[in-house]
Amino acid sequence: MITTSHLPTAQSANRSPAPATGKPDTRWEVAAVEALFALPFLDLLFRAQQTHREHFKAGEVQRSTLLSIKTGGCSEDCGYCSQSARHDTNLTRARMMPLDEVLEHARAAKAKGSSRFCMGAAWRGPKDKDLDAVAEMVREIKKLGMETCVTLGMLGEGQAEKLAEAGLDYYNHNIDTAPENYKNIITTHTLQDRLDTLEKVREAGIHICSGGIIGMGESQAGRAGLIAQLANMDPPPESVPINKLVPIPGTPLADGAEIDPFDFVRSIAVARITMPTSYVRLSAGREQMSDELQALCFMAGANSIFYGARLLTADNTDAGRDERLFERLGLVSI
């Protein structure tokens, strides 16, 4: 089960951090995750890189491309999101993209080196007729030899099974922020609503892609709670996107305070240590990051990125810049 009751408490303040085994029965108390955050920065990065090399080849980075197949008009009120109908962000709404256009984007992404194609639709949850169309996209993209991922909001009964039958590899459904901060960011659904969808996805045999956004007013203890929630899933998500808030004009978080870059790197490192067998994806916010900051994130254990000019409605790092950075750092795309 994936429930809020699985979130550990900070009762064992003197407990040493749990071993980074990646086994489902490894439990992370929030206090133990906080202890990782409190390590000297270089010690934390050293431990994260050691953990990373125990489970992955050094220097290999998985590339995913993300496409918005239905943009804007979402009924949810997520405070960071440009696609909410409740926020005035001057976003142009668009109906669902036709299959042939989606396939054109997928072929282009594969040609540029992406191994996974992710599709996002701005819904609270999909209607069955819309889900049928997405399932057809999944089937056709699988024929291209790419992994598939979708993010469609909350799923109803039987919908995860329909996506599994189409061959979907990953379902993305981020838990966004610290449990105690959730109501400050979103009021139209609860954290448990999110966890319920993730449980449906897991039961259907689809891999989970779930992470959060750093920099939405959460405390360091809150970040520890977010990562503990993810790490204590049974098993942890196979893919963990760690996003840096991109403040979007017109959203409630448009004027959010900038997070210390080292605190963001710490979040990557702690995610790596607590979820040693998961792909940790350096996600939104890369366009504003220097090459040096991204290099630190890779050193901290990030081994996946979104590749391409757009992340749904936000700009992403130019592909040419990524190619140059990979060459400078000796990274290999997988």
Is the pLDDT score of 205 beyond 50?
yes
> pLDDT (tens digit, 9 = 90+) per residue, 70-96?
887 677 878 788 777 667 666 667 788
- The answer to whether the bond into 235 is cis (omega within 30° of 0) is yes
Report the alpha-carbon distance of residue 272 to residue 288 in Å, rounded. Answer: 22
> pLDDT (tens digit, 9 = 90+) per residue, 280-299?
999 988 888 999 999 999 99
pLDDT at 19: 38
Q: Which residues pair with 7 in a beta bridge?
A: none
Provide the pLDDT confidence category of residue 104 given band limits of 50, 70 and 90. very high
Q: What is the mean pLDDT of the chain?
A: 86
Put simply, whether the predicted model's pTM sits higher than 0.85 gets the answer: yes
Annotated active-site positions, please?
74, 78, 81, 118, 149, 209, 281
Report the alpha-carbon distance of residue 64 to residue 57 in Å, rounded. Answer: 18
pLDDT at 10: 33
Report the alpha-carbon distance of residue 124 to residue 221 in Å, rounded. Answer: 29
Report the alpha-carbon distance of residue 124 to residue 153 in Å, rounded. Answer: 5
